[in-house]
Amino acid sequence: MQRRVFLFLLMSALALAVGMAVPGDARAADTVLTVSGPGGTSAAFDMAALDGLPQTAVTTTTPWYDGPRTFSGPLLRTVLQQAGVTGTTLKISALNDYSVEIPAEDLDLYGVVLASRIDGKPFSVRDKGPLFVIYPFDSRTDLKQEKFYSRAVWQVAKIAVR
């Protein structure tokens, strides 16, 4: 019995060290995104909650990848609706505290996606994940400019709506 417990603990520690989930691992339900709005409204999302929202796929080229890639996840406006927040400006903050302000009107005008996958695979933190704000750059020529590329924040962790 003690040997089995030792092996379970050893395997669990090894799995955690390489980033794999283990039975009973609370990380599966960890918050990956916090959304706050005016008046103190806030919501926390884990990956399962975001995956449970209607998903949208956008195939587009970006300055950060060679050739077109398919980004998928919920529309950003759907995430805000689920959080129950509205406003005119979104401050999107990354894991490294980089932040950008995006006009809320962009969400409806361009169909901005909060991508959790690239080419069908989850984003790793190492590859700009777990969440990446993506504009459909190839759908309109006016989106192919620095103004919109700078709004495509990766490693998104927080959204504050004002």
Measured CA to CA, the distance from residue 120 to residue 99 in angstroms comes to 26
Q: What is the pTM of this model?
A: 0.82
Widest pairwise Cα distance in the chain: 65
Helix (H, G, I), strand (E, B) or coil at 136: coil
Q: Tell me what percent of the residues of the chain surpass a pLDDT of 70.
A: 82
Residue 4's pLDDT band (boundaries 50, 70, 90)? very low
How far apart, in Å, are the Cα atoms of 159 and each of 83, 87, 108? 11, 12, 17
- To the question of domain 28-161 being in CATH 3.90.420.10, the answer is yes
pLDDT at 29: 62
For residues 5-17, average pLDDT: 40
b/e per residue, 74-83, with b = 16+ CB within 10 A? bbbbbbbebb
Interatomic CA distance for residues 86 and 161, integer angstroms:
7
pLDDT of residue 39: 86
The amino acid that residue 2 corresponds to is Q
Q: Report, as an integer, the average pLDDT of 17-21.
A: 40
Find the helix or strand (DSSP H, E) in which 31 lies: strand 31-36
Peptide bond into 130 cis (omega under 30): yes
Check: CB of residue 136 under 8 Å from CB of residue 111: yes
Domain extents for the chain?
28-161
